[in-house]
């Protein structure tokens, strides 16, 4: 499928999901849960642009996500701009953070890059903890506007925004996959030195990858203050965002845009069900165990399993 038609087809799919869910489902809880699953589609797709295509493992997902959320808090306190503007602002701030991280870690490969991103997350968290304007370690309450700008409740509005964001993220990922940019990313992943020698501008591509990945993560975090209405550093910088964003592409498959989407829908749904029916601690245990099981048994994820079967036939 060509890139332009993928944008159109995915738009139609997203619009159909939106129309069907909002038209048919009356239960508010569906939108609460659906928001989280969609948020993970954006997060894991964003992670995969850097992790899957370019081969750099980012464990600092929480930093980009929370920085997006906290930039919304600042905007909320200063102005009264609508949420889509906040999403753009969050993307901008986290994109700059991603660019900075890429610049600071240009010489780092593999493991050292992963450790540096973990360190970055903790530095960012410490800064937020010590910044009283956004609530510091006490956290901050964010009052939702009483009325949603569109029809329906405020949660349905946030759900719709996140759906649009998921569509854009997936379409961007797929566009990259089939472009020269994606080929360059893959070249870096497979052999950075050889790519450099072959004339691939590795430095510039790496910066594009970290910036784009960071920006998308920030955008997915930006509506969070309105979703939870109470934001604190411990929960917004939570390691579980990183675990999920790493686990979902790994379980789905890292080589194509479909992997993170499959992983996010599967794991996200299982977690939502487990949280409601069993306990929220147990659902994290499930993610961890699934992650371990998949990297041992099926290192190329579900997409890899399907491709291997197709090849056998």
Partner 1 sequence: MLSLDLAVNAVVAGLLLGGFYAAVTIGVTISFGMLDIVNIAHPAFIMLGSFVAYFVNSSFGIDPILIGVVMAPVFFLVGMAVYQIYFYAFEQRGEESIQGLAFFFGLLFVGEVALILVFGVDYRFVEAPYIGPALHFGMIDLPLRMLIPCLVSLLMLAVLQLFLGRTFIGRAILAVSQDRLALQLMAANPTRIKRIAFGISIATASVAGALLIIIQPVEPSIGRDYIGRIFAICVLGGMTSFPGMLAGAMLIGIVESITATFYGPSWAPAVAFGFLLLTLAIRPAGILGR
What are the residues binding partner 1 (CB under 8 A)?
51, 55, 57, 59, 104-105, 107-108, 110-112, 114-116, 118-120, 122-123, 125-127, 129-130, 137, 239-240, 242-243, 246-247, 250, 254, 281-282, 284-285, 287-289, 291-292, 295-296, 299
Nearer to partner 1, 205 or 284 (CB): 284
- Judge whether 173 and 60 are in contact, CB under 8 Å: no
CB of 297 to partner 1, least distance (A): 8
CB of 10 to partner 1, least distance (A): 27
- Cβ closer to partner 1: 8 or 127? 127
**In angstroms, what is the minimal distance from the CB of 289 to partner 1?**
6
Residue closer to partner 1, measured from CB, 72 or 125: 125
CB of 45 to partner 1, least distance (A): 16
Cβ nearer to partner 1, comparing 102 with 221? 102
| Closer Cβ to partner 1, 58 or 156, answer by number | 58
Q: Minimum distance between the CB of residue 81 and partner 1, rounded to whole angstroms?
A: 30
Question: Minimal distance in Å, beta carbon 270 to partner 1?
Answer: 15
Question: Closer CB to partner 1, residue 58 or residue 202?
Answer: 58
């Amino acid at each position: 499928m060509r890139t332009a038609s993928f944008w159109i087809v995915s738009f139609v799919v997203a619009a159909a999901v939106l129309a069907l869910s909002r038209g048919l489902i009356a239960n508010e809880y569906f939108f609460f849960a659906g928001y989280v699953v969609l948020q993970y589609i954006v997060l894991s797709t964003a992670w995969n642009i850097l992790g899957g295509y370019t081969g750099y493992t980012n464990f600092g997902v929480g930093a980009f996500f929370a920085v997006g959320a906290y930039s919304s808090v600042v905007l909320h306190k200063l102005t009264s701009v609508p949420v889509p503007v906040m999403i753009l602002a969050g993307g901008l701030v986290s994109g700059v953070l991603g660019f900075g991280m890429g610049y600071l870690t240009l010489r780092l490969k593999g493991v050292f890059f992963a450790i540096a991103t973990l360190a970055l997350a903790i530095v960012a968290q410490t800064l937020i903890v010590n910044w009283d304007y956004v609530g510091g370690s006490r956290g901050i309450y964010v009052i939702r506007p009483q009325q949603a700008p569109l029809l329906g409740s405020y949660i349905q509005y946030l759900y719709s925004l996140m759906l649009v964001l998921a569509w854009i993220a997936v379409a961007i990922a797929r566009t990259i996959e089939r472009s020269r940019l994606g080929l360059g990313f893959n070249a870096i992943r497979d052999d950075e030195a050889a790519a450099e020698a072959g004339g691939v501008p590795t430095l510039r591509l790496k910066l594009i990858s970290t910036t784009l990945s960071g920006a998308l993560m920030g955008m997915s975090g930006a509506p969070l203050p309105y979703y939870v209405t109470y934001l604190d550093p411990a929960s917004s910088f939570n390691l579980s965002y990183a675990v999920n964003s790493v686990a979902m592409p790994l379980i789905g498959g890292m080589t194509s845009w479909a992997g993170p989407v499959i992983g996010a829908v599967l794991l996200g749904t299982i977690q939502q069900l487990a949280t409601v029916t069993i306990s929220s601690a147990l659902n994290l245990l499930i993610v961890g165990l699934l992650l371990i099981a998949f990297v041992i048994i099926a290192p190329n994820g579900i997409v890899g399993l399907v491709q291997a079967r197709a090849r056998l036939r």
